[in-house]
A = this chain, B = another copy of it.
Amino acid sequence: MAEKEVPHIVISRLPIYLRALTLCIGEDREIISSQELGKMLGISPAQIRKDLSHFGEFGKQGTGYDVKYLREQLRRILKADREWEMALVGAGDLGRAIVLHYGRFKEQGFHIVAVFDKDPRKIGKRLDRFEILDSKLMSKIVKEKGIQIAIIAVPASEAQKVADTLVKAGVKGLLNYAPVTIHVPPGIRVQYIDPVVHLQRITYYL
């Protein structure tokens, strides 16, 4: 399949295009040119056309893209048109922050279906609407439910061990909020969220 060969950097931009198109639909916009999309995103129109050309023909020269159609195609390509079940590991302040900001995950088809923590004082209690489950059950439940995505929200010192357990249980993608780089076997995807890293990318220039 041609899609397999698309560079990671191109894939990494597709969700940004999808997000912009979703905003266009909110504004009842039906057609958008690569120039206009480029201006919205600070990406060159040529780059956008080149990125999209990996996946076929989405617009005609001079007429622009049909917003709804392109959005649907990107949703299909990114598998954003499906519902995904996720495990959240870590029910501390960070886990609580993630759950609080959870509305947007859900809107986009990402559902937390199990929350784990190893602290006996937390197990059995609730984190917002979720019951906190014993981390010892993580492997079993991830396997039973066929969960493919997990959010790691444990301290840095725990993150690698948690990732190992999750991957062994069948998880294929990790969204890591722990401030540490984690190692996974080939074929497993890890994405990182660490606001401090982003803030330091700002302060260098100040």
Interface residues of chain A, those whose CB is within 8 Å of chain B, are: 11-12, 14-16, 18-20, 23, 26, 40-42, 77-80, 82, 84, 93-94, 96-98, 100-101, 103-105, 108, 110, 148-149, 156-157, 172-175, 179-181, 183, 189, 191-206
Contact = CB atoms under 8 A, between A and B. Distances in A.
Give the number of times this chain occurs in the complex, counting copies.
2
Nearest to A41: B181
Contact of A20 (B148, B181, B204): B181
Contact of A173 (B78, B172, B196, B206): B206
Nearest to A11: B204
A12 B203 CA distance: 11
Contact of A189 (B97, B100, B180, B202): B202
Contacts of A20: 180-181
B149 A203 contact: yes
Given A15-B196, A16-B197, A203 B79 contact: yes
Nearest to A181: B41
Given A79-B206, A149-B199, A203-B80, A181 B105 contact: no
A179 to B, nearest CB: 6
A173 B202 contact: yes
Contact of A78 (B77, B98, B203): B203
A198 to B, nearest CB: 4
11 contacts: A11-B205, A15-B197, A15-B198, A15-B201, A16-B197, A77-B204, A172-B202, A173-B203, A189-B201, A189-B202, A189-B205
A19 B180 contact: yes
A76 B91 CA distance: 34
A156 to B, nearest CB: 6
Given A93-B100, A104-B195, 10 more contacts: A15-B200, A79-B203, A84-B199, A97-B100, A108-B199, A108-B200, A172-B202, A172-B206, A173-B202, A191-B198
Nearest to A149: B202
